[in-house]
Every structure is written in structure tokens, then in C-alpha cells.
Amino acid sequence: MRVDTQFLILILLGCGILPPVTAQVGPAPGDYILAGNTLQTGQLLLARPGGGGQVTTLFQFAPNQMRLSGVGMFEDNRSLGIVAQQLNPTTVGLLLKYQHGAIPPITTLTSLAAGSLPADPTSFCWDARGRVTISNSRQHLFQYDLSFPGQFTTFYTHASPTSYLKSVQHVPLHDYVVLGISGAPPFLFCVDEVGKFSRTLDTLHLQNAQSVSHDTGAFPFRFLATRWPGRDIVALEAGSGKLTTLTTLVATPYAHRHTQRNSIVVLGTGFILQEIDMAGKIVKTLQLKTPPSYIPTAFEIYGSNLLHEIHTSSMNQETVTFTLNSPGDANKAYVLALSLGCRGMKLGKKWINLTVDSFFFVSVTGMIPTFLSKNIGFLDGKGRATAVLNWPRNFPPLGGLTMYAAWVSYDSTGIISISETEHFVLP
């Protein structure tokens, strides 16, 4: 039986109320945020998808003060995290927070050191316990807990002192996945939740990889990578040795981000942004008009961290708390759904990486509120909501299941936003 999921959601859950249209000040969901440097200073720039490539400066550091290397959404889906190396008055690695409209807009969360040398951070990610894990050019992963301001720990140290840890991401089925360079070629490996090397995913196929991301849309263990100096985007089924070229671009790619449209946006040389669907088709190209001598090092899609999950345990119960964040969807209706697969399906013109199965129907109909609560309702005036999944500890029917979660916002016109897909293993 074929099920029209959008119709099911709208009929079961009713309609939201359209908010008044107001002018957007500062970054808006879907905007491109660039971190980079000129010859004299670090700059944070903004480009709107429909802005014809025009860029505006969100923040510019003092001359010869800061070199930016990474940028990403923070857990609240409003502020931005920046990893950088301060050059003056002393050389030190920093984790910074940018919040538009705040005074001051930039705050330092922690400074980082790698033994006797100043840290040179490259990227960061969030984990399921609300901690920030930071990769570093000198063989280290650092970890920072927001509940302990100013303090960081060295979470992992690679065996090779010459290794360069280019990026880190948290993938619950793998724990932390790290792209590292120690000679050639680059290698992709896993580190578990306590900072112990787990296993190597790939060493042969990601030659000259510039960026790597996990893709839950088609295969749970598939990764997408950009490669330099070629102009290709490749998909790797980690551990299998199977590599597929999705497409070849007009510009050499060196960074990419996933969208909620089942596509990726790639930043390439010549300041070209290209959006590519999962079949490898280029659907949009945008030439950015960046300042002279500006060299971008990383970019983010603002508002892309729509779903964050934290797993906690007590004596008798396991709990996953889902935090929904979408500032542009304030007061809209929402539903968070679960499934045991991520095959994906279309909702109108959009795409959600879930499978229509028994868990999906149980979640969207609210049939077991003691198991999944607050997953159906309205976002508050800031576009936030919280859903909770509870189950007994050591419960054999659920033990070992991999579960996927995503949410949508909607009103009488249909689906508005679709979150990224989070997944976790029930112990």
C-alpha cells in the first residue's frame, strides 16, 4: 500500500499559523557562512543563496591578529563556532563563538595547546553528550565541555607526531570519524567515545581528500569526499573499498556541506559554490564576489543544525532527548518521526532520510506517549521544541537496534523545513 506521508502528517496533526513576514537582519537559515583570511586579517563573511554572489562582512578581526580555519553551527543553531589560531600578541589556538547582535559578537570559549607548541585547530563537531571535539594539525583531538567554561582536555593523540588531523565528525555508529594526513595518502579512521583508536575505515581511496562527510541518505556507512587537485566528488562505502565518482566539477573542490534537500553544496577554487544532488547532477552554481586576496578555509550553511540528540542513562531507564531548533519556523507545527531505516522518501518537493515502517507510524501518530513524548506539537516563539524517547534498560526487544530520527515543520501550505537525520544504537 502506497502512503502519502505528507497528507498523513497534515491530516493527523492539523495546521500551524503563519507568522508575520519581517525583514531578516543578520544570518538567515540557508545562508552561506564563509570563514577565511586575507593577507592581513581573518574575516567571517555571509552570502545569500539568492543574492547574486554578493557577500557581506559579519566580522573582521584586527590586522595580523587571527587566522581562521573552521566554522560550524553551535548546538543552539543560532550562534557559530569558529576555530582559529591567534597570531598576536601570542600564538595560541582558540575556540570562538560568534553571535549576531551580541555585544561583543565574538567571545573566546577556550584556548588550546598541544604540548609545548601552540595548537592549530582545523575543525570541530558536537557529540551526543553536548561536548565539542576539535581536530588539530598536530596529531591531537581536543574536547571542550560547555558546562566547564575555559577548560579543555586532550581527548586523543595519534601515534605519528607528524600526522595532521584535518577534520573530525561525530557519527554515532562509528563514534568519531577523523580525516588525517601522515605522509600520503590521507586516511580515514575511527576513535571511540573514550578517545581510543577504534579502526581504520580507508587508506587507499581518499587520495588528496580535502573534506569528508557522513551521508545517511543512501547507505549508513557511506561517506562523501572532495579530492584535490582533481575536480571530483566521490562516495565511499567505508571498509568495503567501493568508490564511486558522483560528478566532476568546474572548480577544484575543497569543502562541502549537506543540505536538507538531499544534496550537498561544494565550495571550490575561484570562489564558486555548486549544489549537487545525490545522483551527481549539478543543480545550482553561484559565483561569490569575495574581497580581494580573501582565501576561504571553511564554510557552513546557517541554521543547518536543526536536530541535536543527547543520550543519558539512569539505573532503570535509557533516555534520548531531541532538541529541535529552527529560528525561521517559530510557532509552526512540527512532528518528529523515528524509523529503523534511512532509505529516504519525498515529502512534496523535499526529501527526508527515513523509511516508512512500523516505528515511523507509531511516532507520527503518537500511539505510545510513554515511549516517545512531545514529538508532536508547535515550536515556540524562537523556533524551539524538545522531544523525549524513553525505554527500560536491558530491554531485549530493543537492544542493539539502530534507530533514525528526523523532524519536519509544516503549515496549511505543506512541509516547510526538514531536519538532518540523526541515528543512534539502542543499548
pLDDT value for 43: 95
User: Distance between CA atoms of 53 and 61, rounded to whole angstroms?
Assistant: 23
The CATH code belonging to domain 32-301 is 2.120.10.30
Instruction: Write the pLDDT tens digit of every residue in 340-380.
Output: 887 778 777 777 888 889 889 989 988 888 889 999 999 99
User: Distance between CA atoms of 380 and 312, rounded to whole angstroms?
Assistant: 25
User: Distance between CA atoms of 142 and 164, rounded to whole angstroms?
Assistant: 14
Domain coordinates in residue numbering, the chain: 5-21+307-425, 32-301
Instruction: Write the pLDDT tens digit of every residue in 271-282.
Output: 899 998 877 888
pLDDT value for 128: 64
Lowest-pLDDT range of 134-143, 155-164, 214-223, 362-371: 214-223
Q: Which fold has domain 5-21+307-425?
A: Immunoglobulin-like (2.60.40)
